[in-house]
Structure 1
Amino acid sequence: MTKTRIGLLGTGPWAARTHAPALAAHPGVEFSGVWGRRPAAAAALAAEHGTRAYEDLDALFAASDAVACALPPDVQAPLAVRAAAAGCHLLLDKPVATTVAGAREVALTAEKAGVASVVFCTLRFAADTASWVEEQTAAGGWYLARAHWLGALFSPGAAGAAGAYAASPWRREKGALWDVGPHVLSVLLPVLGDVTEVNAVAGPGDTRHLLLHHASGAGSTATLTLSAPVPAADAGITLFGERGHAAMPRWADAVGSFGAAVDALLAAARDGVPHACDVRFGLRVTEILAAAEAQLG
């Protein structure tokens, strides 16, 4: 069976710990190469996984059937446009961009080029949470959801992987709304329907409180932060409806979750059927977050 050639854009901790190991281990993938803004880092990551580093981005596109992105969103978006125009399928990180115009350009270019796309929202691909979302969407009858994502990346005492991600300039600038907001919306939208009204209030640090109205008539609340005290760090979503309440299960294994996202991209490219979490969905998430940000001033 012919393997799909997938190249990787990005060399940061998320690329090194999740994307590269998953691509190298996937039985249906030929890991076609690595490009990064730091050539030395690209060379080291490529050598670790038995592939080639590219300094010429167009050359990597030419050597690939698809590209996976592990880049800041507003670096990702214009490079995704170039990749789609070159005929490469897209496996994007969330958010697609932090401007509606940037996300829309990616979506329009992908549609024009006829390439498949998947946006890697972890909760939609981690085995336990993905099946839970499908079950609750099928069950219906929900009238309220309560979500919280209390990250401690920016708090004193955060270390290890948290410290590496906290050093990201875009996370420092955009905060939890844009970093973990897409995760929460990736669950709320399929279960409760599209967001028809957004209300946003700022809390301490980068904390943001959202009150959302959905097309189904349901409402949801979400508290998002990367500034929670380390002992308070937690994340969860609970639904309330006709049959009582349902709490989303815990999740783990980012590499396995990314492998499932690769499976989804391969299926969409093979069958021509768009995935529910494609770049158009990513655009809608960007529109909702931009509307919340505009209210905050």
Structure 2
Amino acid sequence: MRIGLLGTGPWARMAHAPALSGHDELEFAGVWGRRPEAAKELAERHGVRAYDDVDALFADVDAVAVALPPDVQAGLAARAARAGCHLLLDKPLAATVEQGRAVVEAADAADVASVVFFTARFQPEPEAWITEQAGVPGWFTGRAQWLGAVFSSESPFATPWRREKGALWDVGPHALSVLLPVLGDVRRVTAAAYGPRDTAHVVLDHTGGASSTLTLSLTAPPAAAGAAVELRGEAGVAVLPDSPDGAVPALKRAADALLTAARTGRPHACDAAFGLRVTEILTAADDLLNGGGR
């Protein structure tokens, strides 16, 4: 599968480009970015072509990986799907429900595969734990803390879209990607903005009967940063395990999932439709945080 990369920022340089260039079943074909000079530099580093015209890249590849802000990703993903490209997307899928729905509709209409990269879903230990807990009945409640230090340290990820959207949209998708397959879809959302800067607290009522709470921040002290998920129910207590794998091996597994979905025609659990559902839940919480009502 020939694949192109859209984006040239820190995530593209640190994770996407190394994963694509190091994958045995992908041919990393080229890079497009909103800054042509950055696209040229990244392309030269990996021995591929830098594209000035994104449509020319779409025409030359079978798939695209996207490392761009969600509002930019959504428009280009729909455009790539209409050009017949399979989609390896980042979370969150889009900045609005309408944008996310457009991606899903374009992928469905073109019959292309899609995978949204939620890191824990492509790390062996967390994914095995999620699968195991999804088969356990009687969960009573779940608790997720996803705390980053992006705004309290010298982080290259303190990007404009994260400053605008905050932790809800950046790390909230990670928490939802773990909780939803275990506790079921969400039927009610409550949210409040208590704590420093972008810190958000979300309470979810799941269709399986359990509730869950999310504490999300990109403003945590560096020593307090980290992620934890705990489930409590009839079977006792279960805690999400850590994984020794970083982003690059996980992205390679996400690419494996895209290859499988493209070959078999069977959607992956983390496809664009799942990304849309996550976007819908985030939007509901965001409306509450910004006074839009339940």
Smaller-chain TM-score range?
A: over 0.9
Partner of 2:157: 165
Partner of 1:218: 210
2:246 aligned with 1:236, yes or no?
no
Aligned mates of 2:184, 2:177 — CA distance in 1: 11
Quick one: which amino acid aligns to residue 236 of structure 2? G
* Equivalent position SS for 1:17: helix
2:242 aligned with 1:250, yes or no?
yes
Choose which of 26, 47, 71 in structure 1 pairs with 2:44. 47
Offset from partner CA, 1:234-254 (integer Å, 9 cap, x none) = 211001111111110113311
Offset at residue 122 of structure 1 (A)? 0.4
Offset at residue 229 of structure 1 (A)? 1.5
Partner of 1:267: 260
Aligned mates of 2:79, 2:180 — CA distance in 1: 29
Q: Following superposition of structure 1 onto structure 2, how do residues 1-297 of structure 1 map, counting pairs within 5 Å? A: 4-155=1-152, 158-159=153-154, 163-166=155-158, 168-204=159-195, 205-251=197-243, 252-297=245-290
Offset at residue 141 of structure 1 (A)? 2.5
**Of 242-251 and 134-143, the range deviating more from structure 2:** 134-143
Aligned mates of 2:113, 2:128 — CA distance in 1: 22
Contact 1:61 1:88 survives alignment (8 Å): yes
Offset at residue 32 of structure 1 (A)? 1.1
Offset from partner CA, 1:176-233 (integer Å, 9 cap, x none) = 0000000000011100000110000001210100110001001000000001122221
Quick one: which amino acid aligns to residue 14 of structure 2? R
Contact 2:30 2:51 survives alignment (8 Å): yes
Offset at residue 80 of structure 1 (A)? 0.5
Quick one: which amino acid aligns to residue 183 of structure 2? L
Aligned mates of 1:182, 1:140 — CA distance in 2: 24
Aligned mates of 1:234, 1:25 — CA distance in 2: 28
Offset at residue 271 of structure 1 (A)? 0.1
Offset from partner CA, 1:247-287 (integer Å, 9 cap, x none) = 10113311000000000000000000000100000000000
Quick one: which amino acid aligns to residue 175 of structure 1? G
* Equivalent position SS for 1:175: helix
Percent identity at matched positions?
A: 62
* Equivalent position SS for 1:139: coil
Number of residue pairs matched by the alignment? 288
Aligned mates of 1:296, 1:223 — CA distance in 2: 13
Contact 1:6 1:67 survives alignment (8 Å): yes
Offset at residue 25 of structure 1 (A)? 0.7
Quick one: which amino acid aligns to residue 244 of structure 1? G
Contact 1:96 1:282 survives alignment (8 Å): yes
Aligned mates of 2:247, 2:83 — CA distance in 1: 29
Contact 2:136 2:235 survives alignment (8 Å): no
**Normalization by structure 2: what TM-score?**
0.96
Aligned mates of 1:191, 1:13 — CA distance in 2: 32
Offset from partner CA, 1:97-124 (integer Å, 9 cap, x none) = 1100000000111111110000000010
Quick one: which amino acid aligns to residue 3 of structure 2? I
Contact 1:140 1:191 survives alignment (8 Å): no
Runs (4+) of structure 1 moved beyond 3 Å? none
RMSD over aligned Cα atoms: 0.8
